[in-house]
Amino acid sequence: MKGLRALLVRDMRIAVRIGGGALMGVLFFLAVVTLTPFAVGPDLALLRRIGPAILWLGALLASLLALDRLFAADHEDGSLDLILMGAAPLELTVATKGLAHWLTTGLPLVVAVPVLGLLLDIEPNAIGVVALTLLVGTPALTFIGLIGAALAVALRRGGLLLPVLVLPLTVPVLIFGVSAADAAIIGPVPFGTPFTILCALTLMSLVVGPFAAAATLRHGLD
């Protein structure tokens, strides 16, 4: 446990230092959301309607940005060998790295939503709902992404493959994340229905992601 805590602290430290991936995701998110009104035009009604979808799309793409480096960086400098030899079960180690990645790239996206929601003319209470769906949904994106990140190590030059492999798996999360936000803002579906499914998807990915990623790392190493 002490070892896993050390790994969590190390990964978060690296992410927030210069050259780390923590700020990159938020900046990308900011760019996507700020540029949307320019592309769509000054139609406030339209922006309000597509706002949650834009926020979700931006968050989805931003959370994939630094993902391919998650294990690849450790593989290149030899750390991954030692991590694999470590005492903790690999599934837990992988989950710890996923948690560190979400805390440094996923959570800042959720924090940025209230600011960006203003640009899309989303009402304050609706911003809260979108932030809540992202808070619940972004861990699913990160933990599904773990599988792709592990494949990026196993396949070598898998960085390009990562979005292709991971994006289809994230489609259900996107659908239910956006529909939960829409349900709360425009109805008529009760908010609870899609939101519960979103929670279920997240819980499922928290289990499946680390096991699949650990299996990939075990078989992919040479």
Partner 1 sequence: MIVSPQHGVLNDAVRRRADPAGRGRGGPLLMRLAGHDLACIRGGRQVFAGVNFAVGSGEALAVTGRNGAGKTTLLRLIAGLLEPSSGRIELTGGLADISVGEQAHYLGHREALKPALSVRENLDFWYAFLGGRDASLASALDAVGLEGLAALPAAYLSAGQRRRLALARLLAAPRPIWLLDEPTAALDTAGQQRLAELMRAHLAGGGIIVAATHAPLGFEAKELSLGAQDRSQAMGASSLLGGDGRGDARPQAHAQIASPAADREKTR
Would you tell me which residues interact with partner 1 (CB under 8 A)?
A: 1-7, 9-10, 13-14, 17-20, 76-79, 81-89, 92, 221-222
Closer of 45 and 85 to partner 1 (Cβ): 85
Residue 64 C-alpha from the chain's centroid = 6
Q: Minimum Å distance from CB 96 to partner 1?
A: 10
Q: At residue 150, what is the residue type?
A: A
As measured in angstroms, the least distance from the Cβ of 66 to partner 1 is 14
CB of 85 to partner 1, least distance (A): 4
State in angstroms the smallest separation of the CB of 97 from partner 1.
Answer: 12
- In angstroms, give the least distance from the CB of 83 to partner 1: 8
Closest approach of Cβ 219 to partner 1, in Å? 10
- Look up residue 42 and give its DSSP letter: S
**72 vs 178 by CB, closer to partner 1:** 72
d(CA 181, CA 132): 9
Q: Which helix (H) or strand (E) holds 185?
A: helix 161-185
- Sign for the CA dihedral angle at 111, 115, 116, 121 comes to positive
Comparing CB distances to partner 1, the nearer of 19 and 124 is: 19
Residue 128 or 220 having the CB closest to partner 1: 220
| Complex with partner 1: residue 91 or 121, whichever CB lies closer | 91
C-alpha 117/C-alpha 221 separation (Å) is: 43
Q: Which is nearer to partner 1, 80 or 119 (CB)?
A: 80
- Say which residues have a Cβ less than 8 Å from residue 54's Cβ, sequence separation at least 6: 32, 33, 36, 120
Nearest to 216 by CA among 163, 156, 126: 156
- Please, where are the H alpha helices in 66-160? 69-76, 79-84, 90-101, 107-119, 124-154
Half-sphere CA count of 182, side-chain side, radius 13 A: 16
Q: Are 34 and 111 in contact (CB under 8 A)?
A: no
- Give whichever of 5 and 34 is closer to partner 1, judged by the CB atom: 5
CB 81 to partner 1: min, Å: 6
